[in-house]
Amino acid sequence: MLEVFYRKDNLVIQNSDKKEIVFDILTNKTILDWFDVTFPWEYEKSGILLEVKEYGEKLFYNFLIEGKHVLLVTCDDFELKEEILKFFWDVDLLFIVWTKAAAKVFENIEAKIVIPYGEGKDLFLNALSQHIEEVNNYKQKWELPFDTTEFVNLGK
């Protein structure tokens, strides 16, 4: 089971062993179980696999946590080319900063669960006619939507 919630300005993803991925929304610094992973590389820590890819001087995070592919997209100002789209493969849980420019990015990622973050997240959800109630945390159990996308409105 994965649990997602905010701790101050940090987006936290916690696995069933209580190991955390902490993403600081203000600085884009990412910590995996107390280890700074804000650099391009392949990591494995506490049973969590992570590939951090640099593309156009931007970092993208692809985690494998408890058999789920989790993608963290922290920016919207990059050119969508096949090289980066290959990195966005088989996404179960997508965290995406929301701005108008991020629409193209979102449209090119087929994710089962989408959690937008940032100041524009409500505009994003409204634009997609997703008038869903804000929740303080989200627990993703084992079953994922099969052929639909589920949206989560995560509040601070």
Domain ranges of the chain: 2-151
pLDDT one-digit tens code per residue, 35-65: 999 999 999 999 999 999 999 888 999 999 9
The residues, ordered by sequence, that sit 6+ positions from 82 with a Cβ below 8 Å of its Cβ are none
Distance between CA 18 and CA 3 in Å, rounded?
9
Q: What is the pTM of this model?
A: 0.90
- Judge contact between 42 and 53, C-beta under 8 A: no
Query: Is residue 85 predicted with pLDDT exceeding 90?
Result: no
Poorest-pLDDT segment among 8-12, 18-22, 56-60: 56-60
Distance between CA 98 and CA 105 in Å, rounded?
10
CATH number for the domain running over 2-151: 3.60.15.10
| Phi-psi region at 72: left, alpha or beta (left = phi > 0; alpha = psi -120 to 50) | beta
CA atoms within 13 A on the CB side of 64: 11
Query: Is residue 142 predicted with pLDDT exceeding 70?
Result: no
